[in-house]
Amino acid sequence: MSEERLVGIVLVSHSADVAASVAELAKGLAGGTTSVPVAPAGGRPGGGLGTSAELVSAAAASVDRGAGVAVLTDLGSAVLTVKALLAEGDELPDNTRLVDAPFVEGAVAAVVTAATGAGLDAVEAAAVEAYGYRKT
């Protein structure tokens, strides 16, 4: 599937470093593919911890290839930021979806699945399924 039709992934964290590191990890574990559009949206615009509607909106626009955008978040207020943007109706690309999934494992599953050319429903399902990954 062409890059233009891949699902985009946005990773929203309270920390710019965490968002960028999880994006790098997910892309690396997906075989180092650069074809999946992944954008971190972490921290505040001027630095520091927090979340920013502006950064989330810009990240979503940067990964939108017309196949949908999956947004994964780390903590509660990041969820609220994304929900507020979705409620606005015009701040995020069409077919943007907040995905209820664990941040790291869900991001890896989402990027790996998106790399296969799967649609937004499959990308979301893979990320959500990561809740079931057992470590013991």
pTM: 0.94
| Cα→Cα distances 36→27, 82, 94, 112, 135, Å | 8, 21, 18, 9, 27
How does DSSP classify residue 7?
Answer: P
Residues 3-132, CATH architecture: 3-Layer(aba) Sandwich (3.40)
pLDDT tens, position by position, for the chain (136 residues)? 444 689 999 999 999 999 999 999 999 998 875 689 999 999 999 999 999 999 999 999 999 999 999 999 999 999 999 999 999 989 999 999 999 999 999 999 999 999 999 999 999 999 999 999 888 8
Q: Is 133 helix (H, G, I), strand (E, B) or coil?
A: coil
Contacting residues for 70 by C-beta, under 8 A, at least 6 apart: 7, 8, 9, 10, 97, 99, 110, 114, 120, 123, 124, 127
